[in-house]
Chains A and B, each alone.
Chain A
Amino acid sequence: MANDPIHQFHIQRLFPIEVGGLDLSFTNSSLFMVATVAAASVFLIFATGGRGLVPTRMQSIAEMAYEFVAGMLRSSAGTEGMRFFPLVFSLFMFVLVANLFGMFPYFFTVTSHIIVTFVLSMIVILTVTIYGFMRHGARFLNLFVPAGVPAALIPIVAPIEVISFLSRPVSLSVRLFANMLAGHITLKVFAGFVVSLGAMGGIGVAGAILPLGMTVALTGLEFLVAFLQAYVFTVLTCMYLNDAIHPSH
């Protein structure tokens, strides 16, 4: 059971809640969502509590996170994009903290479930679509007609653009989900090799050194992936928001 690499993704009910036949239980996933939000909020609020002109270390980390996301958003969506800053910053912090929480042994990785990443990416896509239509009306559809394309090619290009637009929430959510899932499975599999080889005695213990080294290296890699995927998710969000603000390419 301990060696089952899928076990870590199981959802367990902690407080069963059922409304109209719909299972809305507070699960381990919900617990870690709460933990993620609590940790990120508490950190950001307490770190900036001093409002120091010269930042403390913690405040400096909070400021770095802010400026990192602000820089991303400003460079891809311009100053106008800054109106979406609270959303983009929330997404970045939520995904980053959830990913990093997943790195603790026995912790549940919220972002390893496709429904979570899909909901997050739907928030992005719906924001883009609704804001795009609210601001530009039908001109938002220019998004599907790239400027400078000969009129004859528009019937071919426009459907491709529509498909690419529709596939955005899928690619956005699957990328994050698959990275977290695959990383955690790989880590668990290699760690499992260490245990099962170690149980075989002398030669097995010697042979277990290789997967142990792999596990250590993969742990490092997974920390990188945890950050990188939060970054990628945020960068793509910024680029999609840019489409809502400036629909004509």
Chain B
Amino acid sequence: MASQSNSNTEGTHEVIDVPATEHGAGFPPFDSATFASQILWLAITFGLFYWIMKNVAVPRIAGILEDREDRIAGDMAEANRLKQETDAAIAAYEQALAEARNKAHGIASETRAKLKADNEARRVSAEAEIAAKVSAAETQIAEHKSGAMEKIEEIATETTSALIERLLGKAPTKTDLTKALKTALN
């Protein structure tokens, strides 16, 4: 490429500020006569640029980015703190709710037990009362029954005695009558 462009350059240009005669290469990037100037000016400009970057631009951008990072980290920390507070409040509320529920449950079951015990006691006493009444009635019935039986015997004896007296004209002896009635009634 260099040789081709070389002929090209020489053909079309006569005005080249930098003399390209002694090094033969008309190709400007390989023209060593310009090297010193380029090195010097690159050193000056790049050195200055480096100084500006190192002392002004880089610290400034780094500062901006750091500030932003700090701010974001601060905000995140604050948000986390608030979130934890909220979580704690929710936990406290839920605990209180659970406690209240337990308490209500306790009261309900206590009441239920009490009512059940009361009912049971009432039932037991009522049953005892009924049983006493039943037994009293039963004794009474038995008494009545035995009384009635005696009366029946008495009446039967009197009736039988009266009947026999009417029929035979003569009252039977008491012992005979009793004996006969017993056989008949039993």
Contacts and interface: CB of A to CB of B under 8 A. Distances in A.
B153 interface: no
Interface residues of A, number: 56
A36 B57 contact: no
A139 B112 CA distance: 88
B61 A48 contact: yes
A11 B28 contact: yes
Interface string A6-31: 11011111000100001111110110
Interface in B1-36: 1, 5, 8-9, 12-13, 16-18, 26-31, 33-36
B61 A63 contact: yes
A187 to B, nearest CB: 15
B56 A45 contact: yes
- Interface on chain B toward A: helix, strand, loop, or mixed SS? helix
A216 B19 CA distance: 35
A118 to B, nearest CB: 9
Contacts of A67: 65
A52 B68 CA distance: 9
Contacts, number: 154
The range of chain B's interface size is 35 or more
Interface string A53-91: 101000100110011000000000000000001110110
Contacts of B54: 86, 90
B6 to A, nearest CB: 9
A114 B42 CA distance: 12
Nearest to A86: B54
A114 B30 contact: yes
Residue of B16, B27, B45 most packed against chain A (CB within 10 A): B45
B29 A177 contact: yes
B58 A85 contact: yes
Interface of A: 1, 4-7, 9-13, 17, 22-27, 29-30, 33-34, 36-37, 40-41, 44-45, 48, 51-53, 55, 59, 62-63, 66-67, 85-87, 89-90, 93-94, 110, 112-116, 119-120, 123, 177, 181, 185
Given A33-B46, A93-B49, 15 more contacts: A6-B5, A7-B12, A27-B38, A37-B45, A37-B48, A48-B61, A63-B64, A67-B65, A85-B58, A86-B50, A86-B54, A94-B46, A110-B42, A115-B38, A181-B29
Q: Which 6 A-B pairs have the closest CB atoms?
A: A30-B41, A86-B54, A33-B45, A9-B28, A44-B57, A37-B49
Interface of B: 1, 5, 8-9, 12-13, 16-18, 26-31, 33-43, 45-46, 48-50, 52-54, 56-58, 60-65, 67-68, 71
